[in-house]
Each structure stands twice: as structure tokens, then as C-alpha cells.
Amino acid sequence: MTWVLLDFGGVICYPQPEEDLALLARAAGCTVPEFGDAYWPYRLDYDRAVLDATSYWQRVAARLGRSFDEAKIAELSSLDVASWMHLQEGTVALIADMAAAGHRLALLSNAPADVAEAVSRLPVAAYFEHLIFSCFLKSAKPDPECFNSALAVMGAEPGEVTFVDDRADNIVGAAQVGLTGVQFTNPDAARAMLLR
């Protein structure tokens, strides 16, 4: 049977809800737009473990013209992890059905270590043969190196793998190494593509 390699953020879970972003912004002492402007510039370095949690949040703080102590960093890290834990029930059901149909499943997510650990504890994680995170690979999507490293972990050839992600740039990166890409829009559309 073929492999299905799924992203986590925006596929298995919803994008960060506005309510959670408001909590993060309030904890950081800024507006939601200001928080977004500080949150994303260093995120790939955090996802690749170039930055640890303390270094990442200190850079966010500096961008906001603030400083965060250890307790504030712990609070922000906890809120950040929680913001990625809102699962799409339709995708979870699809994963269960793909596993029942005999597909081999793996997960590939850009995520820092604290998010990776939380995802690994979710019940849905049990459906996957491999949970692959950028923080452990030290490379992140859409870098072809990330996909090649994932294939090595899976012991799979590119032609055996269908990759599901919500971001077009990640689909392009996967195609560069020979994976078949399915851009995720919603669980029903993904089901129609993956369980034909």
C-alpha cells in the first residue's frame, strides 16, 4: 500500500484561532497584529531548533520592544502549544479511515519541540507509523532536504508517497523531490482525493 504523509498545522488541526491569538497577544502585552509581526519572522528557526524556546521568545520580545522573564516565556509557550491543539474532526476521521483501508501513514510537521511533544501525545498520533518533526530533522518544509530526510525515516521512495499540506509552497517543495502533492482545503475535499 502507498504512504500518505500529512502535515499537522492547518490539516489535522485548525489554524490558530483568533481567541487563542488574542490570549497570546494579551500575554505578550501587545495587539494581535503586533504579535503576528513578531511571532512569524523567527518561527522557522524555532521549528528547525536553531532557536530554543527561550531564545525564540526573547527575539519575539525584542521585536515588540519588550523583555520576557522565565515565567512569561513559560506562559507564552504553553499558550502557543494550546493554540495548535484544536483538531479538525473530519481530518481525524479521514486518518482513521485511511488506516483502516490499509494506507501507511506518516506525519511531517514544521514544529518546535514543545509542540512536537504535545502532538505526539494526542490519540490521533497512534495512527501514524512515523511522527516526523522539523525540530528533530533540523530542517523544515518547503526545503527539499526536509522531505528527503522524511523519506529516509519512512524508508519510502518518493513515488510511493502522497503528501498532504495546506500550504502551496510546501506542495511545490514536495514535488521537487518527486512526491505527489494534495493541497488541503477541507477534510471532505481531502477525503475525495485520498479515498477514491
Nearest partner of 146 among 181, 170, 128, 164, judged by Cα: 170
Total-model pTM: 0.95
- Among residues of the chain, what percentage have pLDDT more than 70? 99
Checking DSSP bridges between strand 161-165 and strand 130-133, what pairing results, if any? Answer: unpaired
Q: What is the pLDDT of residues 5-44, one digit of tens each?
A: 999 999 999 999 999 999 999 999 999 999 999 999 999 9
In the chain, where does DSSP find H-type helix?
18-28, 32-39, 43-47, 53-63, 70-83, 89-100, 113-120, 134-137, 144-154, 168-176, 187-194
Grid coordinates 519541540 are at which residue?
113
What pLDDT is attached to residue 75? 98
Rounded to an integer, the average pLDDT of 162-170 is: 98
Question: Could you tell me the pLDDT band of residue 141, with boundaries at 50, 70 and 90?
Answer: very high
Cα 131 to Cα 8, 24, 28, 177: the distances in Å are: 10, 27, 31, 20
Query: φ, ψ for residue 83 (rounded to 5)?
Result: -65, -20
- Report the mean per-residue pLDDT for the chain: 97
Q: Which three cell numbers stand for residue 161?
A: 508517497
In whole angstroms, what is the distance from residue 110 CA to residue 157 CA?
21
What pLDDT is attached to residue 196? 76
Q: Which three cell numbers stand for residue 182?
A: 494534495
What pLDDT is attached to residue 90? 98
What pLDDT is attached to residue 80? 98
Question: Could you tell me the pLDDT band of residue 1, with boundaries at 50, 70 and 90?
Answer: low
Q: Is 151's pLDDT higher than 80? A: yes
Q: What is the pLDDT of residues 66-115, one digit of tens each?
A: 999 999 999 999 999 999 999 999 999 999 999 999 999 999 999 999 99
Residue 86 and residue 17 in contact, taking contact as beta carbons nearer than 8 Å: yes
DSSP per-residue letters across 138-149: T--TT-HHHHHH
What pLDDT is attached to residue 28? 98
